[in-house]
Structure 1
Amino acid sequence: MSSQQPERGSASQVFQPLAGDDPTTIAGYRLAAKLGAGGMGKVYLSYTPGGRPVAIKVIRPEFGEDPEFRRRFAQEVQSAQRVQGLFTAPVIDADTEGAQPWLATAYVPGPSLADAVVAHGALPAEAVLLLIAGMAKALHVIHGAGIVHRDLKPSNVLLAADGPRVIDFGIAYAADATSLTGSGVTIGTPSFMAPEQAAGRKVTPATDIFALGQVAAYASTGSPAFGEGTSHGVLYRIVHEEPDLSAVPERLVELVTRCLAKDPGARPSISEIIELCRTANAETVLRRPEDWLPGSVAADITVRAAAPAPVQTPPPPASAPPAAYSPTTPVAPATPPPGYGPPVPPPHAQPAQHAQPTQHAQTHGPYRTPAQAQTQAQAQAQAQAQAQARAYAPAQFPTHAQPYPGHLMPQAPQPAKRKGSRGAVIAIAAALVVGIAGGATIYSLLKDEGKQAQNDNSAQGNGTSGGSPQGEESGNGGTETSGKPSAKPEPKPVDYKGINLTAGYHLTLGDDDVRPRDGEDGEYELSYDTGGYLDAESMDGNLVLLDPGQEGSLAACRADTRFTKNIYVNRLSKGRQVCVTTGSGHMGLVTVQGFSSEDSPSTYMTLDLTVWRNAVNTGSGS
């Protein structure tokens, strides 16, 4: 499914009006226009509560009815939400359990590579080098999240003003699991498949490298490297014949040829691809100017720029005072445009309360669903009311929902009563006199207690920090939150020599007998991914590659903050050391001792491992 593929032409063609069979809302997102459709569903334009445009991809009902698709789709969405790269369209929201699964990605104003080539012809070599370098960096973070794209093709690459964006990573994997793929529904484009895909063999990150070479050939010539025609004919040529690179510019031939190697092991790594792009660019730094695309292609970006989200603020309650003017408050049009009005709820439903997003959410805040924005607005209103109430109390008073005696709470206007009003006034005055006297007494009693609590809170400042486990450890300096010296001794190192960690296996540092166990993707503490990298997948886990000659130790691993989630093994050599921090509070030091030989039936690395258990303050208070 192509996520943001409108038709070429004017803005009216890019943002197509909703048809009778299109929904008007998806889980609180108001749909403003249709962007396109593909083999897996339809794509719509919507907005976050802060006004940022998003692309909502609604999966076809046939796929949603397949339980295996749902299982894999949920897994891929969870992995895709971890992908945060400069050259990817991030997944910001999703529903994998609803009647029709959907996911929302950031909207990218720009044509796809496929549309740009069809409309304007092949790109110049300089633009292709920048395109491939950006796509390689996108694949680096995608593979780092444990995802193989499987469907990397020109229609899944968007051309933005500041570089390309790779979209739809991992969705083809979910589609492959359904019975639809065996009954005439084609997922993926044969012209951009790898030989192992066409032959039904195992798919690895090297599969995406082959597709990257095909994209480079297409972008520079305007034609697929293995020609066009029937699917069977194209797939046969991909498996058995060499590509036609006669029209590829000479500067790109080496890059394309190496990527299109039939043997996955012979294809270049991500870092090698970026180096090939740099070398082909006269060995200068690959810089991406604002005009990296031809002018005709850049003009399509302007056409696809989404208009600001329409204001959808409901009228204020009749009893509420008029809102104060703010220069940052958008002015609602007198008559909302067609299609933007609030949906009519069914007779049995309660009217929805639409909260206006704050200025921070509009400009700087993270993406939030409409439901989350409403909850946040209610919480902010409650907090403001409590803050106003506390303004009447002494500063040392702790915060409570109910006021102390003598604490004057602002009261909402009440309707006037004709009878008993004088008696009520006398009663209120008497209560105030008693309350003020009681408040003075409580203020005197709690004054010292408030100071003591303030001192205690100051002593606990480091313990409540939201930083990383390493930051908390170094910030506390070996002391407990109470300020007293910690009685907890330094952890003792435990050594494990000569571990052969096979690709596709993982290590758990908390095990008494640390040994490789099968599995590379499941929140493991340290795994050797078949994509060719060490991976720290556990929550709050990370890796640090120490510099050559830097002595590895517990102190060095605690102090170094050059965190990453994965390290490609082609950057490792004998003697290099990697610090490992797990989400369960353990630390480890990996020392590389070697790698499997070329004639070995398995791929593995030999390492020594030193483990310090419970060496990190996890914030659990233990």
Structure 2
Amino acid sequence: MSSAPSAEFLQPLRADDPAVVGGYRLAAVLGAGGMGKVYLSHTPGGRPIALKVIRPEFGEDPEFRRRFRQEVRAAERVQGLYTAPVIDSDTEGPLPWLATAYVPGPSLAHAVARHGALPVRSVLLLTVGVAEALHVIHGAGIVHRDLKPANVLLASDGPRVIDFGIARAADTTALTSTGVSVGTPAFMAPEQASAGTVTPATDVFALGQIAAFAAIGASVFGDGPSHAVLYRIVHEDPDLSALPEELRPVVTRCLSRDPADRPTLAEVIERCNAASEAPLRQGEDWLPQAVAGSLTERLRLPAPASAPAPAPAPAPPTPTEVPPRPPVPGAPAVPAAPGYPPAGVAAAPTQTAPAPGASGAVPPGPPTPPPYTQAPHPYAYAQPQPQPQYGQPPYTQPSYGPGRGTPPPPYPAQGFVAGPPARPRPGRTGLIVAGAVVAAVVGLVVIGSLLPDGSGGKGDDRARGAAGSSSGRPDPQPVAYPGIDVPQNHQLMFADHPPRPAEEPTGAGVLYGHADLFYFRDTLFGDEKFGSTNGKLVVLNNSEKGSLETCRSVTRFTEKIGLDQLTDGTQVCVLSKAGHIAVATFRGRTGGAKETAFVTVDLTVWRNAEPAAKN
């Protein structure tokens, strides 16, 4: 690096930091944590982004890779006002990475360390904003697991929650037993610290700790070694003696040792509004002046690195000689076009036309084209490495298909001139024709022996059914289960015979489990939904018949369906990742808005109708 960034929150790149990740040129270091390092970069259009590169130890763990891939897909669905949206990612490369929008604001940890505790109104607005962020995060099927002051950024128009769900990818991997901690001990919930159980209520406990930390300026469970802090979280009450009186109702409930006693996120918002003298509205004045003044420096970022300038074009060649094409600094290496010499390799000398009338004159050929110079791509961040020079550039088979363009017209091989097709040798034409006829007859006989009887008519239903299965196996027989009553917040698993409604066995709730089909009620907005965390759903039109063939052919996939979209008799295709396919026929809802409510469905299941999906 030629110069270090001037702002204190930016650190210069070190020798062991990559210069480019995924095509993004790195400008500075924003921070580092247990799972990776965060860099400042820019999009091709110049917008700043925060790019988190996962530590190599995690990238080498197959289980981490699988979970990280799942969490990134879920995080891409989080589009809340108080979260930093995911912009780009690579879960398959040598170093997995994730890019989010850059938030020009300090973390809560940094602001409290530099300016002290926040006033009550700022803490209430902070708590309300983080609660809304958690609602969106939980709605995407994610539990944050590592909500702490360092993961809450203070922007000019409210807080932003970052790093949601990424900590889950490291849970139960081989690294958790080798000293790599997941989650921050001082902000863990009792159930998380003692048994490793994580539910949405775990994030509510962390929210209470964040509110208290912002108001007091310190953790309510004290400092010291991790094991000592964890012991106090599990067995002792928090120290709330310095907490302002207005914040006690909401913080005390959030820090209940029993997850069932903690408030919902909607109740947190209600209690914060009740504690405020004026209506809580996010605005430019939500932070104290000292903290707001520090936001300005975070808007002064180093300019994006520009692409290298193109080299000047070489002088035109003489009519009788094609000079070698010089490599362009900074331009990506590309194969030479047909009839052109590879980059950096001199063309073989061409014949010089003899003077008119001289013996051995050759007929004039086509004019020699000018040398080709590849200009650098404006978004090419990566500097090309020196390539060995060969007479013939390596050839890579291009891939074509939907979204990848159409194949180019065939060209003659490089360095060869296409000529007329060769004629068959005299006396062999008859043999070639005879061989082709024999091969065609044999092929027709083989194909005819494979066709079922009557294939020339309407076809055989069994043959059509087998063709409909992507696995090539005969279709399974459907099994019908009429009149299944599914209580609120219960799930069904199609592998069970019969499928019985049950709660998620790990206690994480149906939104975070592995249900083929579940029914739940959103406590914040009050809407009720069908959903699947182990598959996908399709609501069939009135003209569509719920059958195995229909469910295989429809493509209007979703993961949740509101009950307001369903009427008595509405059919829903459910395609489980385990390979089961089902048609759920909605038969109505019974009960009030409490936990006693349930829905009734008729279920038809084709077990193992498709190969199980690979996670």
The answer to whether the aligner puts 1:295 opposite 2:289 as a matched pair is: yes
1:160–1:301: 8 Å Cα contact kept in structure 2? yes
Letter in structure 1 aligned against 2:591: Q
Return the alpha-carbon distance in structure 2 between the equivalents of residues 296 and 250 of structure 1.
Answer: 24
Letter in structure 1 aligned against 2:298: R
String of CA shifts for 1:142-162, please: whole Å, max 9, x gaps. 111111111100000011111
Q: Could you say which residue in structure 1 is the equivalent of 2:137?
A: 142
Instruction: Quickly say closer, same or farther: Cα 1:92–1:516, change in 2 above 3 A.
Output: farther
| Consecutive aligned runs of 4 or more in structure 1 exceeding 6 Å deviation | 343-353, 511-514, 522-525, 529-533, 564-569, 579-587, 610-613
Instruction: Quickly say closer, same or farther: Cα 1:580–1:286, change in 2 above 3 A.
Output: farther
2:590–2:598: 8 Å Cα contact kept in structure 1? yes
Q: Could you say which residue in structure 2 is the equivalent of 1:500?
A: 486
Q: What is the deviation of 1:18? A: 1.3
Q: Could you say which residue in structure 2 is the equivalent of 1:304?
A: 298
Return the alpha-carbon distance in structure 2 between the equivalents of residues 111 and 308 of structure 1.
Answer: 20
Q: How many residues align?
A: 427
Q: Could you say which residue in structure 2 is the equivalent of 1:593?
A: 591
The answer to whether the aligner puts 1:170 opposite 2:165 as a matched pair is: yes
Return the alpha-carbon distance in structure 2 between the equivalents of residues 287 and 264 of structure 1.
Answer: 29
1:526–1:535: 8 Å Cα contact kept in structure 2? yes
The answer to whether the aligner puts 1:69 opposite 2:64 as a matched pair is: yes
Q: What is the deviation of 1:566? A: 6.5
Greater CA drift, 499-508 or 173-182 = 499-508
Secondary structure of the 1:116 match is: helix
Letter in structure 2 aligned against 1:167: I
Instruction: Quickly say closer, same or farther: Cα 1:239–1:514, change in 2 above 3 A.
Output: closer
Return the alpha-carbon distance in structure 2 between the equivalents of residues 587 and 531 of structure 1.
Answer: 22
1:48–1:54: 8 Å Cα contact kept in structure 2? yes
Q: Could you say which residue in structure 1 is the equivalent of 2:230?
A: 235
- When the two chains are superposed, the root-mean-square deviation of aligned CA atoms in Å is 4.7
String of CA shifts for 1:198-237, please: whole Å, max 9, x gaps. 1114211000000000000000010111111121221111
Return the alpha-carbon distance in structure 2 between the equivalents of residues 349 and 502 of structure 1.
Answer: 67
Matches within 5 A, 1:487-566: 497=483, 499-501=485-487, 503=489, 505-506=491-492, 516=501, 520=510, 526-528=517-519, 534=529, 536-537=531-532
Return the alpha-carbon distance in structure 1 between the equivalents of residues 588 and 102 of structure 2.
Answer: 41
The answer to whether the aligner puts 1:606 opposite 2:592 as a matched pair is: no
Aligned match for 2:195, one of 196, 200, 203: 200
The answer to whether the aligner puts 1:275 opposite 2:273 as a matched pair is: no
String of CA shifts for 1:326-378, please: whole Å, max 9, x gaps. xxxxxxxxxxxxxxx95987999999975447xxxxxxxxxxxxxxxxx9xxx
String of CA shifts for 1:310-329, please: whole Å, max 9, x gaps. 4437539959xxxxxxxxxx
Aligned match for 1:132, one of 122, 127, 149: 127
Q: What is the deviation of 1:186? A: 2.2
The answer to whether the aligner puts 1:152 opposite 2:147 as a matched pair is: yes
Return the alpha-carbon distance in structure 1 between the equivalents of residues 150 and 592 of structure 2.
Answer: 41
Secondary structure of the 2:89 match is: strand
Q: What is the deviation of 1:79? A: 1.2
Return the alpha-carbon distance in structure 1 between the equivalents of residues 591 and 343 of structure 2.
Answer: 66
Return the alpha-carbon distance in structure 2 between the equivalents of residues 109 and 254 of structure 1.
Answer: 32
Q: What is the deviation of 1:302? A: 1.5
1:85–1:141: 8 Å Cα contact kept in structure 2? yes
Secondary structure of the 2:257 match is: coil
Q: Could you say which residue in structure 2 is the equivalent of 1:483?
A: none
1:501–1:607: 8 Å Cα contact kept in structure 2? yes
Instruction: Quickly say closer, same or farther: Cα 1:28–1:144, change in 2 above 3 A.
Output: same
2:5–2:302: 8 Å Cα contact kept in structure 1? no
Q: What is the deviation of 1:298? A: 1.4
Secondary structure of the 2:221 match is: coil
Matches within 5 A, 1:5-44: 11-44=6-39
Instruction: Quickly say closer, same or farther: Cα 1:162–1:10, change in 2 above 3 A.
Output: farther
Aligned match for 1:217, one of 207, 212, 224: 212
Aligned match for 2:85, one of 85, 90, 99: 90
Instruction: Quickly say closer, same or farther: Cα 1:193–1:500, change in 2 above 3 A.
Output: same
2:137–2:144: 8 Å Cα contact kept in structure 1? yes
Instruction: Quickly say closer, same or farther: Cα 1:518–1:122, change in 2 above 3 A.
Output: closer
Greater CA drift, 157-166 or 185-194 = 185-194
Return the alpha-carbon distance in structure 2 between the equivalents of residues 299 and 174 of structure 1.
Answer: 36
2:492–2:499: 8 Å Cα contact kept in structure 1? no
Letter in structure 2 aligned against 1:607: V
Give TM-score scaled by structure 1 length.
0.59
Secondary structure of the 2:294 match is: helix
Instruction: Quickly say closer, same or farther: Cα 1:589–1:248, change in 2 above 3 A.
Output: farther
Q: What is the deviation of 1:196? A: 0.1
String of CA shifts for 1:234-262, please: whole Å, max 9, x gaps. 11111111111111111110000000011
Return the alpha-carbon distance in structure 1 between the equivalents of residues 374 and 487 of structure 2.
Answer: 55
2:481–2:603: 8 Å Cα contact kept in structure 1? yes
Return the alpha-carbon distance in structure 1 between the equivalents of residues 275 and 538 of structure 2.
Answer: 34
Structure with greater helix share of residues: 1
Instruction: Quickly say closer, same or farther: Cα 1:527–1:138, change in 2 above 3 A.
Output: same
Matches within 5 A, 1:205-604: 205-282=200-277, 284-305=278-299, 306-307=301-302, 309-312=304-307, 314-315=309-310, 318=313, 342=330, 355-356=377-378, 497=483, 499-501=485-487, 503=489, 505-506=491-492, 516=501, 520=510, 526-528=517-519, 534=529, 536-537=531-532, 588=586, 591-593=589-591
Return the alpha-carbon distance in structure 2 between the equivalents of residues 14 and 157 of structure 1.
Answer: 16
Q: What is the deviation of 1:609? A: 4.3
Instruction: Quickly say closer, same or farther: Cα 1:63–1:498, change in 2 above 3 A.
Output: closer
Return the alpha-carbon distance in structure 2 between the equivalents of residues 145 and 312 of structure 1.
Answer: 38
Return the alpha-carbon distance in structure 1 between the equivalents of residues 73 and 111 of structure 2.
Answer: 31
Letter in structure 2 aligned against 1:500: V
Instruction: Quickly say closer, same or farther: Cα 1:245–1:587, change in 2 above 3 A.
Output: same
Return the alpha-carbon distance in structure 2 between the equivalents of residues 568 and 149 of structure 1.
Answer: 25
The answer to whether the aligner puts 1:116 opposite 2:102 as a matched pair is: no
Secondary structure of the 2:50 match is: strand
2:331–2:374: 8 Å Cα contact kept in structure 1? no
